[in-house]
A and B are shown apart, each in its own frame.
Chain A
Amino acid sequence: MQRAAGTGVAIEYEDVTKTFGDVTAVDEISFEVEDGELLALLGPSGSGKTTTLRMLAGFETPTNGTISLAGDDVTRVPTHKRDTGMVFQDYALFPHMTVGENVAFGLERQGVPAAEAQKRIEEVLALVDLAGFADRDPKTLSGGQQQRVATARAIAIEPEVLLMDEPLGALDKRLRDQLEVELTEIQDDLGITTLYVTHNQEEALTIADRIAVMNEGRIEQIASPMEVYEEPATEFVADFIGDTNFLEGDLRESADGRVLLETTDGDLEVNSGTAPADGSGRVFVRPEKLTAHDPTTTAETQNTLPGRVDRRLFLGSKVRYFVDVDGTQVVVDESNRHASSIHDAGDEVTLAWSVQDTRLARG
């Protein structure tokens, strides 16, 4: 990332709560977004991520707490006086205007002179790869093109922050992958602070500088994509992001201070400083961290479990095994490095992985 990180706080939520009747959509959340940063709000539907975004746009007023934009408290500022540019899930392009008129709408409101506005419209349309589309009717464009117009319209007004509500949600996977890259490039080039709502974990992992994982109106974890994946703070995060094998057993601390998970097939060492006092929390390991090898070879430094291959999926570049370990199904992803070493269903195997990848997710 080429932006100057840490130059200032662009967005600040402080103890923000939003209730609709009896339902608490957002529950006392606090976080900051730095200048130029792209923060993804990731969570299942009903987790409060869209409400969080809409409060910054001014479409909803927080029940409690304050929201600041570039240091100014905007909690009670009406929508049209806030310096935000929003890209809607269904794009919300004005159907009675051309592409150019859509982009011009915000510039007219800002009182940008016609000649300059014209220049700006051409610039942003070129930026989203739609040069020469100004006179087109948005209804005649493809979904991907409409998405680009919506983005162009939002960035044309040069807002303090860009708000994106599931901007790629209505597109097919191929187009989504392509636009993910393009959007991050544009966002990076402009260095525009962005709040990005998505329920798609891959999308969040790909585009975000940091991810705020939301669940039931609260932020479970806010960290870099790698940290959220490798060191999930809670069981919810571990389960929601990526595939996860949870391992059953009792946690205890050994005499030499290591944290151990007692299973029927022996102790597994857990990558954790201390065992949780109340015993809450679950041990998990990601499928790609596991290897399934012949029971005859052993590795002393690693955690191991014996099992039997139930089912095998050959996926080309990788092989996915469903391994039965004492009645529990464990998923193992191995890269297809040597086709000759692939196991068959029914094979007895030993699952091995490093202690470092044996994580503890707190409840």
Chain B
Amino acid sequence: MSQRRFTAELERVNGRLSALVRAYRETRLGKYGLLAPTLVSVAAVMVFPTAILVSYSFNPYDSGTVGVGVTLAHYLRAFTTPLYQETLFRTLWIAAAVTAIDFVLGFPLAYAAVRKGGWVGKLIVIATLAPLTIDLVVRSFGWFILLNGSGVINSTLVTLGIVSAENTPKLLFNEVGIVIGLAHVMLPFMVFPIINVLHTIPHELEEAARNLGANRATTFTRVLVPLALPGISAGVLITFVVSLASYVTPALLGGGVRVIPVVITETFTSTSNWPFASALSMILIAVALVVIVGYQRVLSRLNGVGGV
């Protein structure tokens, strides 16, 4: 069979298959049938395990295993023990700080990538994306080299005479280390949604604002931010929620300073108190859901007022 005949035949079969799929999709069975593989996988990897965790979180802890019965003891313990209160609070503010830092860094980057275009824009996109090609653990070890007591940053500060060798700031194995590491990891998730939305905002709108007497700050707050809100809100939400749930970076760069995902993992693996670990997981999920829903509410109200 010649190449040409083969291609033609392939197209014909392909066309028939698409027609079949289209027709099938119109039927009720087809509608759900086509969704089934997705629904089954989501159920298998998300809903089912979560349901197990929910049920564990109400079971008592019975000498190293999951006991029988219903109890709220794990939730009470999580909310009343100062250590866990502090950890939850720390987890939240670290995620908030990472989000704020990434917005402050990411917006100008995204803006420059879109408005400068050319090789500057490409460089920004590549530089932002490049770290994603390196494993999280490797990246965290990279930060060790930069951040530790006699690391690149501190020795530079000492050499420049900004701090004395005895007073170098502690950048690793504390909140600072976690925030720096996570801000790095999460930056692309802030930058790319904003790049996407900035592409849709004509530059003339900024020029028009400037022409009408708006300085850069006013142009930013009155024209750019309202129009970029869909991208900004996506970036902020992804950055915040993923930071909240991230484990590897805080575990490696936090040292003794823990966040909830680290505590959950340790509880699961080293104490085998699965019910308590499950309760902590549920609390983290609940907090994330509250944040997402509340955030959407605020945004839709903003949109209503701004008319975006």
Contact = CB atoms under 8 A, between A and B. Distances in A.
Interface of A is mostly: loop
A59 B207 contact: yes
A137 interface: yes
Contacts of B227: 95-96
B224 to A, nearest CB: 11
Contacts of B197: none
A79 B208 contact: no
Nearest to B204: A92
A348 interface: no
Contacts of A59: 207, 210
A78 to B, nearest CB: 8
Contacts of A94: 205, 208-209, 223
Nearest to A105: B212
Contacts of B308: 96
B211 A85 contact: yes
Given A79-B210, A110-B213, A90 B218 contact: no
Contact of A80 (B202, B204, B215, B222): B215
Given A80-B213, A80-B214, A98-B307, A86 B208 contact: yes
Contact of A90 (B202, B209, B223, B226): B202
B161 interface: no
A105 B214 contact: yes
Contacts of B214: 80, 105, 109
Nearest to B219: A80
B64 interface: no
Given A80-B214, A157-B213, A96 B307 contact: yes
For A58, A85, A92, A110, which residue has the most chain B Cβ atoms within 10 angstroms? A92
Contacts of A137: 307
Contacts of A86: 207-208, 211
Contacts of A153: 208, 212
The B interface is mostly helix, strand or loop, or mixed, namely: helix
A86 B213 CA distance: 11
A206 B206 CA distance: 31
**Most B CB atoms within 10 A — which of A58, A81, A88?**
A88
Contacts of A98: 307
B120 to A, nearest CB: 14
Contacts of A90: 202, 204
A352 B212 CA distance: 56
B33 to A, nearest CB: 40
Contacts of A80: 210-215
B223 A79 contact: no
In this complex, which of B209, B213, B223 has the most chain A Cβ atoms within 10 angstroms of its Cβ? B213
Given A90-B204, A109-B218, A84 B307 contact: no
Nearest to B307: A96
B212 A109 contact: yes
B18 to A, nearest CB: 36
Contacts of B82: none
B37 interface: no
Contacts of B294: none
Contact of B212 (A78, A95, A96, A157): A157
A151 to B, nearest CB: 13
B209 A105 contact: yes
A302 B267 CA distance: 108
A2 B240 CA distance: 64
B307 A97 contact: yes
B69 interface: no
Interface string B273-308: 000000000000000000000000000000000111
A58 B211 CA distance: 8
B203 to A, nearest CB: 9
B213 A88 contact: no
Contacts of A78: 210, 215
A1 B286 CA distance: 73
A97 B211 CA distance: 17
Contacts of A169: none
Nearest to A101: B307
Q: Which of A78, A93, A106 has the most CB of B within 10 A?
A: A106
A85 B307 CA distance: 25
Interface in B43-97: none
Nearest to B308: A96
A32 to B, nearest CB: 22
Nearest to A79: B210
Nearest to B201: A95
B213 A109 contact: yes
Contacts of B207: 57, 59, 79, 86, 88, 92
Interface of A: 57-59, 78-81, 84-86, 88, 90, 92-98, 105-106, 109-110, 137, 153-154, 157
12 contacts: A79-B211, A85-B211, A85-B212, A88-B204, A90-B202, A94-B209, A96-B308, A106-B212, A106-B213, A109-B212, A109-B213, A109-B218
Listed from nearest, the 5 A-B pairs whose CB atoms lie closest are: A109-B213, A106-B212, A92-B204, A92-B208, A79-B210
